[in-house]
Structure 1
Amino acid sequence: MSKERVGFIGVGLMGHGMAANLIDKGWPLTIMGHRNRKPVDDLLARGAREARTPREVAQNSDILFICVTGTPQVEALVRGPDGILEGAHDKLVVVDTSTAIPDSTIALAEELKAKGAAMADAPLGGTPVQAAAGELSAMVGADPEVFARIEPAIRAWAARVVHLGPVGFGHKMKLLNNFLSLGYAAIYAEALAVARKNGISVATFDSVIRGSRMDCGFYQTFMGYALEGNPEAHKFTLTNAHKDMRYLATMANESGIANHIGAAVKNMFAFAEGIGRGQDYVPLLADIVAEANGVKIEK
Protein backbone atom coordinates (compact mmCIF):
# COMPACT_ATOMS: atom_id res chain seq x y z
CA MET A 1 0.00 0.00 0.00
CA SER A 2 1.48 3.37 -1.03
CA LYS A 3 1.96 6.02 1.62
CA GLU A 4 0.34 9.44 1.42
CA ARG A 5 2.43 12.46 0.51
CA VAL A 6 3.71 14.28 3.60
CA GLY A 7 4.74 17.90 3.98
CA PHE A 8 6.75 19.36 6.85
CA ILE A 9 7.23 23.00 7.85
CA GLY A 10 9.59 23.71 10.74
CA VAL A 11 12.58 21.35 10.60
CA GLY A 12 14.36 22.83 13.63
CA LEU A 13 15.33 21.22 16.94
CA MET A 14 12.27 18.94 17.10
CA GLY A 15 11.11 18.98 13.50
CA HIS A 16 14.33 17.71 11.95
CA GLY A 17 14.20 14.43 13.87
CA MET A 18 10.50 14.00 13.15
CA ALA A 19 10.96 14.66 9.43
CA ALA A 20 13.99 12.38 9.26
CA ASN A 21 11.95 9.52 10.72
CA LEU A 22 9.19 10.10 8.18
CA ILE A 23 11.49 9.95 5.19
CA ASP A 24 13.59 7.10 6.58
CA LYS A 25 10.38 5.08 7.04
CA GLY A 26 9.28 5.54 3.46
CA TRP A 27 6.97 8.56 3.49
CA PRO A 28 7.31 10.84 0.41
CA LEU A 29 8.38 14.13 2.01
CA THR A 30 8.27 17.79 0.95
CA ILE A 31 9.86 20.30 3.32
CA MET A 32 10.01 24.08 3.41
CA GLY A 33 13.37 25.81 3.66
CA HIS A 34 14.58 26.87 7.09
CA ARG A 35 16.89 29.73 8.08
CA ASN A 36 19.33 27.06 9.29
CA ARG A 37 20.30 25.12 6.17
CA LYS A 38 22.00 22.23 7.97
CA PRO A 39 18.82 20.26 8.80
CA VAL A 40 17.33 21.11 5.41
CA ASP A 41 20.38 19.86 3.55
CA ASP A 42 20.43 16.68 5.63
CA LEU A 43 16.80 15.93 4.77
CA LEU A 44 17.38 16.68 1.09
CA ALA A 45 20.29 14.23 1.13
CA ARG A 46 17.90 11.60 2.54
CA GLY A 47 15.54 12.14 -0.39
CA ALA A 48 13.20 14.95 0.64
CA ARG A 49 11.98 17.57 -1.82
CA GLU A 50 12.20 21.28 -0.96
CA ALA A 51 9.38 23.78 -1.51
CA ARG A 52 9.71 27.55 -1.23
CA THR A 53 6.33 28.55 0.23
CA PRO A 54 3.67 27.11 2.54
CA ARG A 55 1.27 27.16 -0.42
CA GLU A 56 3.62 24.94 -2.42
CA VAL A 57 4.04 22.52 0.49
CA ALA A 58 0.25 22.27 0.87
CA GLN A 59 -0.29 21.68 -2.86
CA ASN A 60 2.19 18.78 -2.80
CA SER A 61 0.99 17.15 0.44
CA ASP A 62 -1.85 15.00 1.70
CA ILE A 63 -0.71 15.36 5.33
CA LEU A 64 1.14 18.54 6.30
CA PHE A 65 2.93 18.76 9.65
CA ILE A 66 3.71 22.14 11.22
CA CYS A 67 6.33 22.33 13.97
CA VAL A 68 7.03 25.98 14.84
CA THR A 69 7.19 28.16 17.94
CA GLY A 70 3.56 29.00 18.61
CA THR A 71 0.26 30.54 17.56
CA PRO A 72 1.50 33.66 15.71
CA GLN A 73 3.82 31.57 13.53
CA VAL A 74 1.12 28.97 12.79
CA GLU A 75 -1.44 31.62 11.88
CA ALA A 76 1.05 33.33 9.55
CA LEU A 77 1.83 30.05 7.79
CA VAL A 78 -1.86 29.27 7.27
CA ARG A 79 -3.28 32.72 6.51
CA GLY A 80 -0.31 34.64 5.12
CA PRO A 81 0.58 35.45 1.50
CA ASP A 82 1.36 32.20 -0.36
CA GLY A 83 0.06 30.46 2.76
CA ILE A 84 -1.37 27.03 3.37
CA LEU A 85 -4.95 28.22 2.78
CA GLU A 86 -3.97 29.23 -0.76
CA GLY A 87 -2.70 25.72 -1.45
CA ALA A 88 -5.39 23.80 0.44
CA HIS A 89 -7.29 21.00 -1.33
CA ASP A 90 -9.86 18.41 -0.37
CA LYS A 91 -7.31 15.68 0.42
CA LEU A 92 -5.21 17.86 2.73
CA VAL A 93 -4.96 17.43 6.51
CA VAL A 94 -2.90 20.06 8.34
CA VAL A 95 -1.43 18.71 11.59
CA ASP A 96 -0.11 21.35 14.00
CA THR A 97 2.45 19.81 16.36
CA SER A 98 3.36 23.19 17.90
CA THR A 99 2.21 24.37 21.31
CA ALA A 100 -0.58 26.79 20.46
CA ILE A 101 -3.69 28.53 21.80
CA PRO A 102 -6.62 26.09 21.39
CA ASP A 103 -9.17 28.71 20.29
CA SER A 104 -6.84 29.73 17.44
CA THR A 105 -6.51 26.10 16.37
CA ILE A 106 -10.29 25.69 16.26
CA ALA A 107 -10.66 28.88 14.20
CA LEU A 108 -8.00 27.76 11.71
CA ALA A 109 -9.73 24.38 11.41
CA GLU A 110 -12.94 26.13 10.34
CA GLU A 111 -11.09 28.19 7.73
CA LEU A 112 -9.44 25.08 6.28
CA LYS A 113 -12.77 23.24 6.29
CA ALA A 114 -14.20 25.98 4.06
CA LYS A 115 -11.47 25.07 1.56
CA GLY A 116 -12.32 21.35 1.75
CA ALA A 117 -9.28 20.54 3.93
CA ALA A 118 -9.09 19.31 7.53
CA MET A 119 -6.98 20.15 10.56
CA ALA A 120 -5.72 18.28 13.58
CA ASP A 121 -3.52 19.24 16.51
CA ALA A 122 -0.84 16.82 17.68
CA PRO A 123 1.48 18.65 20.09
CA LEU A 124 4.53 16.83 21.32
CA GLY A 125 5.87 15.37 24.51
CA GLY A 126 9.61 14.74 24.64
CA THR A 127 12.96 16.17 23.66
CA PRO A 128 14.99 16.56 20.44
CA VAL A 129 16.84 13.36 21.33
CA GLN A 130 13.53 11.49 21.46
CA ALA A 131 12.43 13.17 18.22
CA ALA A 132 15.51 11.80 16.45
CA ALA A 133 14.86 8.35 17.90
CA GLY A 134 11.18 8.35 16.92
CA GLU A 135 10.18 8.14 20.57
CA LEU A 136 8.07 11.25 21.12
CA SER A 137 4.52 11.22 22.43
CA ALA A 138 1.65 12.91 20.59
CA MET A 139 -1.55 14.32 22.08
CA VAL A 140 -4.00 14.40 19.18
CA GLY A 141 -7.16 16.40 18.65
CA ALA A 142 -8.99 15.33 15.48
CA ASP A 143 -12.23 13.94 14.12
CA PRO A 144 -12.13 10.10 14.18
CA GLU A 145 -11.82 9.71 10.40
CA VAL A 146 -9.03 12.31 10.28
CA PHE A 147 -7.20 10.61 13.13
CA ALA A 148 -7.39 7.27 11.29
CA ARG A 149 -5.63 8.87 8.30
CA ILE A 150 -2.87 10.69 10.17
CA GLU A 151 -2.07 8.13 12.87
CA PRO A 152 0.29 6.00 10.71
CA ALA A 153 2.35 9.09 9.79
CA ILE A 154 2.45 10.27 13.40
CA ARG A 155 3.69 6.85 14.47
CA ALA A 156 6.73 7.34 12.25
CA TRP A 157 8.06 9.76 14.89
CA ALA A 158 6.00 8.98 18.02
CA ALA A 159 6.14 5.94 20.25
CA ARG A 160 2.97 6.98 22.13
CA VAL A 161 -0.09 8.41 20.39
CA VAL A 162 -3.21 9.37 22.34
CA HIS A 163 -6.41 10.51 20.59
CA LEU A 164 -8.04 12.91 23.05
CA GLY A 165 -11.09 14.14 21.15
CA PRO A 166 -11.94 16.75 18.49
CA VAL A 167 -9.58 19.38 17.11
CA GLY A 168 -8.26 21.67 19.85
CA PHE A 169 -8.09 18.98 22.53
CA GLY A 170 -4.45 18.22 21.78
CA HIS A 171 -3.42 21.81 22.43
CA LYS A 172 -5.55 22.01 25.56
CA MET A 173 -3.86 18.92 27.00
CA LYS A 174 -0.41 20.09 25.90
CA LEU A 175 -0.80 23.32 27.88
CA LEU A 176 -1.77 21.30 30.94
CA ASN A 177 1.16 18.95 30.38
CA ASN A 178 3.60 21.87 30.12
CA PHE A 179 2.09 23.49 33.21
CA LEU A 180 3.07 20.36 35.12
CA SER A 181 6.57 20.08 33.68
CA LEU A 182 7.40 23.79 33.91
CA GLY A 183 5.86 23.93 37.36
CA TYR A 184 8.27 21.18 38.37
CA ALA A 185 11.14 23.19 36.86
CA ALA A 186 10.20 26.23 38.95
CA ILE A 187 9.92 24.10 42.11
CA TYR A 188 13.23 22.32 41.47
CA ALA A 189 15.03 25.63 40.88
CA GLU A 190 13.67 27.19 44.05
CA ALA A 191 14.25 24.06 46.14
CA LEU A 192 17.87 23.87 44.98
CA ALA A 193 18.41 27.56 45.86
CA VAL A 194 17.06 26.96 49.38
CA ALA A 195 19.13 23.79 49.66
CA ARG A 196 22.36 25.52 48.61
CA LYS A 197 21.71 28.45 50.97
CA ASN A 198 21.40 25.98 53.83
CA GLY A 199 24.52 23.97 53.08
CA ILE A 200 22.93 21.09 51.16
CA SER A 201 24.76 20.51 47.89
CA VAL A 202 23.08 19.61 44.61
CA ALA A 203 24.64 16.14 44.85
CA THR A 204 23.24 15.61 48.35
CA PHE A 205 19.81 16.85 47.27
CA ASP A 206 19.86 14.48 44.31
CA SER A 207 20.95 11.51 46.43
CA VAL A 208 17.64 11.73 48.29
CA ILE A 209 15.29 12.53 45.39
CA ARG A 210 16.69 10.23 42.69
CA GLY A 211 15.03 6.82 42.84
CA SER A 212 12.39 8.04 45.30
CA ARG A 213 8.68 8.63 44.64
CA MET A 214 9.59 12.22 43.70
CA ASP A 215 11.85 11.10 40.84
CA CYS A 216 10.66 11.28 37.23
CA GLY A 217 12.01 11.67 33.70
CA PHE A 218 11.69 15.45 33.77
CA TYR A 219 13.58 15.62 37.06
CA GLN A 220 16.43 13.63 35.52
CA THR A 221 16.76 15.90 32.47
CA PHE A 222 16.56 19.00 34.68
CA MET A 223 19.29 17.64 36.92
CA GLY A 224 21.36 16.82 33.84
CA TYR A 225 22.45 20.45 34.10
CA ALA A 226 22.13 21.21 37.83
CA LEU A 227 24.05 18.07 38.83
CA GLU A 228 26.08 17.07 35.79
CA GLY A 229 26.67 20.48 34.19
CA ASN A 230 25.27 19.61 30.75
CA PRO A 231 23.66 22.84 29.43
CA GLU A 232 21.92 20.89 26.65
CA ALA A 233 20.31 18.27 28.89
CA HIS A 234 16.88 19.65 28.00
CA LYS A 235 16.92 21.86 24.90
CA PHE A 236 13.83 24.00 25.50
CA THR A 237 14.31 27.73 25.99
CA LEU A 238 13.08 29.83 28.87
CA THR A 239 11.42 32.13 26.31
CA ASN A 240 9.36 29.20 25.01
CA ALA A 241 8.52 28.20 28.57
CA HIS A 242 7.26 31.71 29.30
CA LYS A 243 5.19 31.64 26.09
CA ASP A 244 3.57 28.33 27.02
CA MET A 245 2.66 29.60 30.48
CA ARG A 246 1.08 32.71 28.93
CA TYR A 247 -0.99 30.41 26.71
CA LEU A 248 -2.08 28.45 29.78
CA ALA A 249 -3.11 31.70 31.48
CA THR A 250 -5.18 32.60 28.40
CA MET A 251 -6.95 29.25 28.51
CA ALA A 252 -7.58 29.54 32.25
CA ASN A 253 -8.87 33.12 31.91
CA GLU A 254 -11.26 32.15 29.12
CA SER A 255 -12.50 29.29 31.32
CA GLY A 256 -13.07 31.56 34.32
CA ILE A 257 -10.47 29.65 36.36
CA ALA A 258 -8.31 31.39 38.98
CA ASN A 259 -4.85 29.91 38.27
CA HIS A 260 -2.78 31.19 41.19
CA ILE A 261 -0.02 28.60 40.86
CA GLY A 262 0.12 28.98 37.09
CA ALA A 263 0.62 32.73 37.52
CA ALA A 264 3.49 32.17 39.94
CA VAL A 265 5.19 29.74 37.56
CA LYS A 266 4.66 32.10 34.60
CA ASN A 267 6.24 34.96 36.54
CA MET A 268 9.36 32.94 37.25
CA PHE A 269 9.90 32.43 33.53
CA ALA A 270 8.94 36.05 32.82
CA PHE A 271 11.67 37.11 35.26
CA ALA A 272 14.26 34.89 33.55
CA GLU A 273 13.39 36.30 30.13
CA GLY A 274 13.21 39.85 31.50
CA ILE A 275 16.81 39.76 32.73
CA GLY A 276 18.02 38.63 29.31
CA ARG A 277 18.27 34.88 29.87
CA GLY A 278 15.42 33.86 27.57
CA GLN A 279 17.60 31.84 25.18
CA ASP A 280 19.00 29.71 28.00
CA TYR A 281 17.47 26.27 28.31
CA VAL A 282 15.00 25.50 31.11
CA PRO A 283 17.39 23.63 33.48
CA LEU A 284 19.54 26.78 33.75
CA LEU A 285 16.66 28.26 35.75
CA ALA A 286 18.36 26.62 38.75
CA ASP A 287 21.29 29.02 38.43
CA ILE A 288 19.11 32.04 37.68
CA VAL A 289 17.06 31.59 40.86
CA ALA A 290 20.20 30.92 42.91
CA GLU A 291 22.00 34.00 41.55
CA ALA A 292 18.96 36.20 42.17
CA ASN A 293 19.08 35.15 45.81
CA GLY A 294 22.82 35.63 46.24
CA VAL A 295 23.49 31.92 46.49
CA LYS A 296 26.94 30.70 45.53
CA ILE A 297 26.77 28.08 42.77
CA GLU A 298 29.23 25.25 43.30
CA LYS A 299 30.96 24.02 40.17
Structure 2
Amino acid sequence: MTEQIGFIGLGYMGHGMAKNLVEKGFPLTVMAHRKRETIDDLKQRGAVEVETARAMAKVCDIVVLCVTGSTQVEAILNGPDGLAAAGKPLMVIDCSTSEPAITVRLAQELAPQGITLIDAPLSRTPKEAWAGTLDVMLGGASHDVRRARPVLETFAGRIVETGATGSAHMMKLLNNFVSLGYGALYAEALMLGAKAGVSAQTFHAVIGGGRMDCPFFQTYFEYVVGGNRDAHKFTLDNALKDLTYLVNFASASAAANPVGAAVRNSYALAIGLGRGGDYVPMLTDALALANKGP
Protein backbone atom coordinates (compact mmCIF):
# COMPACT_ATOMS: atom_id res chain seq x y z
CA MET A 1 0.00 0.00 0.00
CA THR A 2 1.28 3.49 -0.87
CA GLU A 3 2.36 5.49 2.15
CA GLN A 4 0.42 8.64 2.98
CA ILE A 5 2.85 11.59 2.97
CA GLY A 6 2.59 14.91 4.76
CA PHE A 7 4.73 17.95 4.01
CA ILE A 8 5.41 20.97 6.24
CA GLY A 9 7.54 23.88 5.03
CA LEU A 10 6.43 25.01 1.59
CA GLY A 11 9.06 27.68 1.02
CA TYR A 12 11.51 28.09 -1.83
CA MET A 13 12.70 24.47 -1.62
CA GLY A 14 9.60 22.83 -0.18
CA HIS A 15 7.21 23.87 -2.92
CA GLY A 16 9.17 22.04 -5.61
CA MET A 17 9.78 19.01 -3.39
CA ALA A 18 6.07 18.70 -2.56
CA LYS A 19 5.15 19.17 -6.21
CA ASN A 20 7.34 16.21 -7.15
CA LEU A 21 5.86 14.04 -4.41
CA VAL A 22 2.28 14.53 -5.54
CA GLU A 23 3.07 14.35 -9.25
CA LYS A 24 4.98 11.09 -8.82
CA GLY A 25 2.11 9.26 -7.19
CA PHE A 26 2.25 9.83 -3.43
CA PRO A 27 -0.98 10.90 -1.68
CA LEU A 28 0.05 14.24 -0.21
CA THR A 29 -1.25 16.30 2.70
CA VAL A 30 0.01 19.84 3.19
CA MET A 31 -0.39 22.42 5.94
CA ALA A 32 -1.44 26.05 5.69
CA HIS A 33 1.41 28.30 4.58
CA ARG A 34 1.83 32.07 4.60
CA LYS A 35 1.95 32.05 0.80
CA ARG A 36 -1.54 30.99 -0.19
CA GLU A 37 -0.58 30.57 -3.83
CA THR A 38 1.76 27.69 -2.95
CA ILE A 39 -0.99 25.76 -1.16
CA ASP A 40 -3.45 26.48 -3.97
CA ASP A 41 -0.98 25.24 -6.58
CA LEU A 42 -0.40 21.98 -4.72
CA LYS A 43 -4.12 21.45 -4.14
CA GLN A 44 -4.69 21.84 -7.87
CA ARG A 45 -2.14 19.07 -8.38
CA GLY A 46 -4.00 16.75 -5.98
CA ALA A 47 -2.78 17.58 -2.48
CA VAL A 48 -5.12 17.86 0.51
CA GLU A 49 -4.82 20.68 3.04
CA VAL A 50 -5.05 20.44 6.84
CA GLU A 51 -4.85 23.18 9.47
CA THR A 52 -2.44 21.66 12.03
CA ALA A 53 0.51 19.31 12.30
CA ARG A 54 -1.57 17.12 14.63
CA ALA A 55 -4.28 16.76 11.98
CA MET A 56 -1.60 15.88 9.43
CA ALA A 57 -0.12 13.17 11.64
CA LYS A 58 -3.57 11.63 12.09
CA VAL A 59 -3.84 10.85 8.36
CA CYS A 60 -0.19 10.34 7.36
CA ASP A 61 2.43 7.61 7.68
CA ILE A 62 5.43 9.81 6.87
CA VAL A 63 5.82 13.57 7.31
CA VAL A 64 8.58 15.54 5.56
CA LEU A 65 9.79 18.75 7.20
CA CYS A 66 11.58 21.51 5.29
CA VAL A 67 11.66 24.45 7.69
CA THR A 68 14.27 26.91 8.92
CA GLY A 69 15.98 24.92 11.67
CA SER A 70 15.83 23.09 14.99
CA THR A 71 13.63 25.63 16.78
CA GLN A 72 10.89 25.24 14.18
CA VAL A 73 11.31 21.45 13.98
CA GLU A 74 10.92 21.04 17.74
CA ALA A 75 7.78 23.22 17.76
CA ILE A 76 6.22 21.20 14.93
CA LEU A 77 7.00 17.95 16.70
CA ASN A 78 6.18 18.80 20.31
CA GLY A 79 3.85 21.80 20.20
CA PRO A 80 0.27 21.58 21.57
CA ASP A 81 -1.01 20.81 18.07
CA GLY A 82 2.23 19.17 16.95
CA LEU A 83 2.88 15.86 15.25
CA ALA A 84 3.46 13.97 18.50
CA ALA A 85 0.09 15.13 19.86
CA ALA A 86 -1.64 12.79 17.41
CA GLY A 87 -0.47 9.87 19.55
CA LYS A 88 0.24 7.45 16.72
CA PRO A 89 3.27 5.85 15.02
CA LEU A 90 4.89 8.11 12.47
CA MET A 91 8.11 8.59 10.51
CA VAL A 92 9.40 12.16 10.33
CA ILE A 93 12.01 13.04 7.71
CA ASP A 94 13.73 16.32 8.62
CA CYS A 95 15.05 17.95 5.44
CA SER A 96 15.77 21.18 7.29
CA THR A 97 19.29 22.28 8.19
CA SER A 98 19.05 21.47 11.88
CA GLU A 99 21.48 21.28 14.78
CA PRO A 100 22.81 17.69 14.96
CA ALA A 101 22.78 17.42 18.77
CA ILE A 102 19.13 18.51 18.89
CA THR A 103 18.21 16.05 16.14
CA VAL A 104 19.76 13.19 18.13
CA ARG A 105 18.01 14.29 21.32
CA LEU A 106 14.62 14.59 19.64
CA ALA A 107 15.00 11.18 17.99
CA GLN A 108 15.74 9.59 21.36
CA GLU A 109 12.83 11.36 23.07
CA LEU A 110 10.31 10.52 20.35
CA ALA A 111 11.21 6.85 19.84
CA PRO A 112 9.22 5.59 22.88
CA GLN A 113 6.14 7.31 21.39
CA GLY A 114 6.49 5.32 18.17
CA ILE A 115 7.85 8.30 16.22
CA THR A 116 10.96 7.75 14.12
CA LEU A 117 12.98 10.87 13.29
CA ILE A 118 15.63 10.72 10.60
CA ASP A 119 17.62 13.53 8.97
CA ALA A 120 17.74 14.20 5.24
CA PRO A 121 19.07 17.73 4.60
CA LEU A 122 19.44 19.07 1.09
CA SER A 123 22.01 20.59 -1.22
CA ARG A 124 21.48 22.65 -4.40
CA THR A 125 18.80 25.27 -5.08
CA PRO A 126 15.04 25.73 -5.60
CA LYS A 127 15.62 25.17 -9.33
CA GLU A 128 16.76 21.59 -8.62
CA ALA A 129 13.96 21.14 -6.07
CA TRP A 130 11.44 21.88 -8.80
CA ALA A 131 13.25 19.61 -11.27
CA GLY A 132 13.52 16.78 -8.73
CA THR A 133 17.31 16.66 -8.85
CA LEU A 134 18.37 17.75 -5.36
CA ASP A 135 21.30 16.22 -3.50
CA VAL A 136 20.17 14.62 -0.24
CA MET A 137 22.28 13.54 2.74
CA LEU A 138 20.50 10.78 4.67
CA GLY A 139 21.08 9.71 8.28
CA GLY A 140 19.30 6.94 10.16
CA ALA A 141 19.08 3.23 10.88
CA SER A 142 19.30 1.07 7.77
CA HIS A 143 15.66 -0.11 7.86
CA ASP A 144 14.42 3.46 8.29
CA VAL A 145 16.62 4.66 5.44
CA ARG A 146 15.19 1.95 3.16
CA ARG A 147 11.66 3.08 3.99
CA ALA A 148 12.46 6.75 3.38
CA ARG A 149 14.29 6.31 0.08
CA PRO A 150 11.22 6.02 -2.25
CA VAL A 151 9.91 9.30 -0.81
CA LEU A 152 13.23 11.11 -1.19
CA GLU A 153 13.81 9.76 -4.69
CA THR A 154 10.85 11.78 -5.97
CA PHE A 155 12.82 15.02 -5.53
CA ALA A 156 16.45 13.82 -5.32
CA GLY A 157 18.90 13.17 -8.10
CA ARG A 158 21.49 11.86 -5.65
CA ILE A 159 21.18 10.41 -2.14
CA VAL A 160 24.26 9.85 0.03
CA GLU A 161 23.84 7.83 3.24
CA THR A 162 25.93 9.31 6.03
CA GLY A 163 25.42 6.99 9.01
CA ALA A 164 23.34 7.24 12.17
CA THR A 165 20.62 9.79 12.84
CA GLY A 166 22.20 13.23 13.20
CA SER A 167 25.14 12.48 10.89
CA ALA A 168 23.40 13.93 7.84
CA HIS A 169 22.71 17.20 9.65
CA MET A 170 26.38 17.32 10.62
CA MET A 171 27.42 16.70 7.02
CA LYS A 172 25.05 19.44 5.89
CA LEU A 173 26.72 21.93 8.24
CA LEU A 174 30.11 20.95 6.82
CA ASN A 175 28.78 21.29 3.28
CA ASN A 176 27.42 24.75 4.05
CA PHE A 177 30.62 25.76 5.82
CA VAL A 178 32.56 25.03 2.64
CA SER A 179 30.09 26.74 0.29
CA LEU A 180 29.45 29.75 2.52
CA GLY A 181 33.19 29.99 3.10
CA TYR A 182 33.64 30.33 -0.64
CA GLY A 183 30.92 32.98 -0.62
CA ALA A 184 32.81 34.99 2.01
CA LEU A 185 36.09 34.59 0.09
CA TYR A 186 34.50 35.77 -3.17
CA ALA A 187 32.98 38.83 -1.46
CA GLU A 188 36.26 39.82 0.17
CA ALA A 189 38.29 39.23 -2.98
CA LEU A 190 35.86 41.34 -5.02
CA MET A 191 36.00 44.15 -2.46
CA LEU A 192 39.82 44.19 -2.50
CA GLY A 193 39.86 43.94 -6.28
CA ALA A 194 37.52 46.90 -6.61
CA LYS A 195 39.86 49.00 -4.46
CA ALA A 196 42.65 48.16 -6.94
CA GLY A 197 40.51 48.78 -10.02
CA VAL A 198 39.90 45.10 -10.84
CA SER A 199 36.29 44.68 -11.94
CA ALA A 200 33.94 41.85 -11.00
CA GLN A 201 33.78 40.99 -14.70
CA THR A 202 37.55 40.54 -14.83
CA PHE A 203 37.50 38.41 -11.67
CA HIS A 204 34.77 36.23 -13.20
CA ALA A 205 36.63 35.89 -16.49
CA VAL A 206 39.80 34.71 -14.76
CA ILE A 207 38.28 32.29 -12.22
CA GLY A 208 35.44 31.03 -14.42
CA GLY A 209 36.48 28.04 -16.50
CA GLY A 210 39.62 27.56 -14.43
CA ARG A 211 40.55 25.18 -11.63
CA MET A 212 38.60 27.18 -9.04
CA ASP A 213 35.35 27.22 -11.02
CA CYS A 214 32.36 25.26 -9.67
CA PRO A 215 28.54 25.37 -9.82
CA PHE A 216 28.41 27.48 -6.64
CA PHE A 217 30.76 30.02 -8.22
CA GLN A 218 28.52 30.19 -11.27
CA THR A 219 25.25 30.79 -9.39
CA TYR A 220 26.99 33.31 -7.12
CA PHE A 221 28.25 35.25 -10.10
CA GLU A 222 24.92 35.09 -11.90
CA TYR A 223 24.08 37.84 -9.42
CA VAL A 224 27.45 39.57 -9.20
CA VAL A 225 27.98 40.05 -12.95
CA GLY A 226 24.59 38.99 -14.33
CA GLY A 227 22.30 40.87 -11.95
CA ASN A 228 20.05 37.86 -11.35
CA ARG A 229 18.84 38.37 -7.77
CA ASP A 230 17.15 34.96 -7.72
CA ALA A 231 20.12 32.88 -8.89
CA HIS A 232 20.87 31.61 -5.38
CA LYS A 233 17.81 32.03 -3.14
CA PHE A 234 19.34 31.35 0.28
CA THR A 235 19.21 34.22 2.74
CA LEU A 236 22.07 35.66 4.74
CA ASP A 237 19.95 35.08 7.87
CA ASN A 238 19.84 31.36 7.13
CA ALA A 239 23.56 31.32 6.33
CA LEU A 240 24.37 32.82 9.72
CA LYS A 241 22.07 30.32 11.44
CA ASP A 242 23.87 27.37 9.83
CA LEU A 243 27.32 28.75 10.59
CA THR A 244 26.27 29.39 14.19
CA TYR A 245 25.19 25.75 14.52
CA LEU A 246 28.69 24.73 13.40
CA VAL A 247 30.33 27.12 15.85
CA ASN A 248 28.11 25.65 18.59
CA PHE A 249 29.36 22.18 17.70
CA ALA A 250 32.98 23.34 17.73
CA SER A 251 32.49 24.95 21.13
CA ALA A 252 30.86 21.82 22.56
CA SER A 253 33.77 19.80 21.18
CA ALA A 254 36.39 22.20 22.56
CA ALA A 255 37.68 22.51 18.99
CA ALA A 256 39.50 25.54 17.65
CA ASN A 257 37.82 26.64 14.41
CA PRO A 258 39.40 29.97 13.42
CA VAL A 259 38.24 29.82 9.78
CA GLY A 260 34.68 28.95 10.79
CA ALA A 261 34.54 31.87 13.19
CA ALA A 262 35.86 34.25 10.52
CA VAL A 263 33.34 33.05 7.93
CA ARG A 264 30.51 33.38 10.43
CA ASN A 265 31.57 36.94 11.22
CA SER A 266 31.42 37.91 7.55
CA TYR A 267 27.74 36.98 7.46
CA ALA A 268 27.10 38.51 10.90
CA LEU A 269 28.54 41.77 9.58
CA ALA A 270 26.09 41.76 6.67
CA ILE A 271 23.17 41.12 8.99
CA GLY A 272 24.37 43.88 11.29
CA LEU A 273 24.06 46.20 8.28
CA GLY A 274 20.41 45.18 7.90
CA ARG A 275 20.96 42.75 5.00
CA GLY A 276 19.67 39.55 6.59
CA GLY A 277 16.87 39.07 4.05
CA ASP A 278 19.29 39.37 1.11
CA TYR A 279 20.59 36.26 -0.62
CA VAL A 280 24.10 34.87 -0.22
CA PRO A 281 25.68 36.44 -3.35
CA MET A 282 24.57 39.84 -2.03
CA LEU A 283 27.19 39.48 0.69
CA THR A 284 29.38 41.23 -1.90
CA ASP A 285 27.25 44.37 -1.57
CA ALA A 286 27.36 44.32 2.24
CA LEU A 287 31.13 43.89 2.36
CA ALA A 288 31.63 46.63 -0.22
CA LEU A 289 29.44 48.95 1.87
CA ALA A 290 31.32 48.10 5.08
CA ASN A 291 34.62 48.95 3.38
CA LYS A 292 33.51 52.12 1.66
CA GLY A 293 36.31 54.52 2.34
CA PRO A 294 36.38 58.31 2.39
> What interval of TM-score do these two structures reach, taking the shorter chain for normalisation?
over 0.9
Q: Deviations over 1:6-60 (max 9, x none)?
A: 1100111110000000000000000111011111110011010111111111121
CA shift for structure 1 position 116 = 1.2
The within-5 A match list for 1:11-22 is 11-22=10-21
Q: Deviations over 1:234-291 (max 9, x none)?
A: 0000011011110010111112211111001111111111111100111011111112
CA shift for structure 1 position 145 = 0.1
Aligned residue identity for 2:62 = I
Q: 2:259 aligns with which of 257, 261, 265?
A: 261
The within-5 A match list for 1:23-102 is 23-90=22-89, 92-102=90-100
Q: Is the 8 A contact 2:273 2:286 kept in 1?
A: no
Partner SS, residue 22 of structure 2: helix
Q: Is the 8 A contact 1:58 1:64 kept in 2?
A: yes
Distance verdict in 2 for CA 1:295–1:208, change over 3 Å: farther
The CA distance in 1 between the partners of 2:125 and 2:228, in whole Å, is 15
- Identify unmatched segments of 5+ residues in structure 2: none
The within-5 A match list for 1:186-197 is 186-197=184-195
The CA distance in 1 between the partners of 2:102 and 2:289, in whole Å, is 38
Partner SS, residue 113 of structure 2: coil
- Structure 1 residue runs of 4+, over 3 Å off? none
CA shift for structure 1 position 123 = 0.4
- Aligned position for 1:117: 115
> When the two structures are aligned, how many residues end up with a matched partner?
294
Q: Deviations over 1:144-163 (max 9, x none)?
A: 00000000110000101011
- Aligned position for 1:284: 282
**TM-score, normalising length from structure 2?**
0.98
Q: Is the 8 A contact 2:137 2:159 kept in 1?
A: yes
Partner SS, residue 180 of structure 1: helix
Q: Is the 8 A contact 1:88 1:112 kept in 2?
A: no
- Aligned position for 1:3: 2
Root-mean-square deviation (Å):
1.2
Q: Is the 8 A contact 1:32 1:57 kept in 2?
A: yes
- Identify unmatched segments of 5+ residues in structure 1: none
The CA distance in 2 between the partners of 1:295 and 1:176, in whole Å, is 34
Partner SS, residue 19 of structure 2: helix
